[in-house]
């Protein structure tokens, strides 16, 4: 692959098209100036934990809403020494995760892995891995709506003021209305957090089950919203508190079941409908965690069943 910053001028006929090949794309797809702009935004995001830094997001070759923010962050962060893991819904082999991993293998030659511990950079949509992250890791989140106050105030011009003045009363009012109406806070994912005791931040649509993993995490967490053109971050060892009330403390989901495949009781479980009779089972959403446990000999109550071979997805 060549790393050419320039490209030839175009004539107004169809004959030049053949010369436009994919090897004219830069390392990491984005041009150097764009990466510099994104890198500056990342550094400011780290210096102001939880604050959303506007950046001039670029059109990427995948649709907005499909991880363009995370992809731009990864493109600006990744190097040839990295080992890259991509998950969607906790799984390495969902179609979008496969597609993104393939893209980076093509434009950066980066090594990829499914093992959480092996990865130096993990791009994710909707989950944080179950295995505790380490000091050497960078988490990159795909974010659809970065603004935690969007559901109480649709206007950017207003929410910006609310963040500036730390006027978060409406957010608490809304959460408390939930409690008054439903006896609980009816937010289960994208559950707002307060970072470093200053900014209210959306942790992206991770289930609230994952929120505690952000608190004092040894890893660096960077969030990218491509369509909304915002980057924000939680540095390592930073206080991240899920919003709650004294009489209604923050709680995470729990299951009566364990993982049908590996028997885990401590992981986030997906419910899978097995057949038209409505038979269902619960499996770890973190496929690497589940596979690893089974390799270590942990077996769940349904591990022996043969009609779920695809679910087991043995590592190649």
Q: In the set 132, 155, 173, 177, which binds another protein (CB under 8 A)?
A: 155
Listed residue (6, 52, 3) closest to 234, CA to CA? 52
Catalytic residue among 57, 70, 90, 259: 259
Smallest gap from Cβ 304 to another protein, in A, equals 16
Question: Do the strands 111-112 and 121-125 form a parallel or antiparallel pair, or are they unpaired?
Answer: unpaired
Question: Do the strands 220-225 and 138-142 form a parallel or antiparallel pair, or are they unpaired?
Answer: parallel
Catalytic residue among 50, 90, 224, 226: 50
N-terminal to C-terminal alpha carbon distance within the chain: 28
In degrees rounded to 5, what are phi and psi of residue 146? -75, -20
Binders of another protein in range 250-309 (CB under 8 A): 253, 255, 268-275, 285, 307-308
Active site residue 9: no
Residue 144 or residue 171: which is nearer to another protein going by CB? Answer: 144
Q: Which segments of the chain does DSSP mark as H helices, in order?
A: 32-47, 68-77, 95-108, 156-164, 169-182, 287-295, 309-312
Helix H or strand E encompassing 223: strand 220-225
Residue 167 or residue 295: which is nearer to another protein going by CB? Answer: 167
Q: In the set 19, 21, 23, 45, which binds another protein (CB under 8 A)?
A: 45
Binders of another protein in range 75-104 (CB under 8 A): 76-81, 88-91, 93-99, 102
- What six digits make up the tokens of 308? 């779920």
Q: 241, exposed or middle or buried, with CB in 10 Å at 0-12, 13-18, 19+?
A: middle
Which of these ranges, 8-16, 259-267, 288-296, 298-306, lies near another protein under the rule CB under 8 A? 8-16
Active site residue 258: no
Listed residue (44, 72, 45, 70) closest to 58, CA to CA? 72
Active site residue 50: yes
Which of these ranges, 54-62, 167-175, 257-265, 294-302, lies near another protein under the rule CB under 8 A? 54-62
Binders of another protein in range 184-223 (CB under 8 A): 184, 186, 188-190, 196, 198-199, 205-209, 218, 220
Q: Is residue 168 within the footprint of another protein (CB under 8 A)?
A: no
Distances (CA, A) of 129 to 47, 142, 155, 237: 25, 14, 33, 17
Active site residue 284: yes
Active site residue 290: yes
Using the Cα atoms of residue 74, residue 80, residue 85 and residue 87 in order, give the sign of their dihedral: positive
CA pair distance 167, 285, nearest whole angstrom: 36
Which of these ranges, 111-119, 167-175, 233-241, 259-267, lies near another protein under the rule CB under 8 A? 233-241
Q: How many residues bind another protein (CB under 8 A)?
A: 124
Q: Is residue 42 within the footprint of another protein (CB under 8 A)?
A: yes
Q: Is residue 249 within the footprint of another protein (CB under 8 A)?
A: no
Binders of another protein in range 169-188 (CB under 8 A): 182-184, 186, 188
Q: In the set 115, 150, 160, 172, which binds another protein (CB under 8 A)?
A: 160
Binders of another protein in range 100-139 (CB under 8 A): 102, 125-127
- What six digits make up the tokens of 270? 């997906």
Instruction: Say if CB 100 and CB 67 are below 8 A apart.
Output: yes
Catalytic residue among 258, 260, 284, 300: 284
Which residues form the catalytic set?
A: 50, 259, 262, 284, 290
């Amino acid at each position: 692959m060549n790393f050419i910053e320039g490209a030839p001028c175009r004539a107004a006929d169809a004959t030049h098209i053949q010369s436009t090949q994919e090897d004219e794309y830069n390392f990491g797809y984005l041009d150097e100036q764009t990466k510099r702009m994104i890198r500056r935004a990342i550094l400011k995001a780290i210096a102001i934990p939880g604050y959303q830094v506007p950046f001039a997001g670029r059109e990427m070759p995948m649709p907005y809403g499909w991880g363009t923010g995370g992809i731009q962050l990864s493109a600006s962060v990744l190097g040839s020494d990295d080992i890259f893991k991509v998950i969607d819904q906790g799984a390495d082999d969902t179609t979008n995760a496969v597609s993104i991993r393939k893209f980076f293998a093509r434009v950066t030659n980066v090594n990829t892995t499914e093992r959480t511990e092996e990865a130096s950079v993990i791009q994710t949509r909707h989950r944080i891995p179950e295995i505790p992250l380490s000091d050497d890791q960078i988490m990159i989140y795909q974010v659809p709506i970065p603004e935690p106050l969007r559901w109480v105030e649709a206007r950017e011009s207003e929410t910006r003021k609310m963040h500036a003045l730390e006027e978060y009363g409406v957010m608490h009012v809304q959460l408390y209305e939930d409690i008054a109406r439903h006896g609980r806070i009816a937010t289960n994912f994208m559950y707002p957090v307060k970072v470093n005791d200053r900014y209210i931040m959306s942790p992206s649509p991770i289930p609230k089950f994952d929120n505690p993993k952000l608190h004092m995490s040894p890893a660096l967490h960077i969030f990218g919203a491509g369509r909304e053109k915002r980057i924000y971050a939680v540095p390592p060892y930073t206080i991240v508190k899920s919003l709650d009330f004294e009489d209604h403390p923050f709680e995470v989901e729990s299951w009566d079941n364990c993982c049908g495949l590996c028997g885990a009781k401590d992981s986030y479980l997906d419910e899978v409908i097995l057949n038209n009779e409505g038979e269902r089972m619960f499996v770890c959403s973190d496929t690497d965690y589940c596979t690893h446990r089974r390799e270590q000999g942990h077996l769940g109550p349904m591990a022996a069943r043969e009609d779920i071979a695809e679910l087991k997805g043995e590592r190649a």
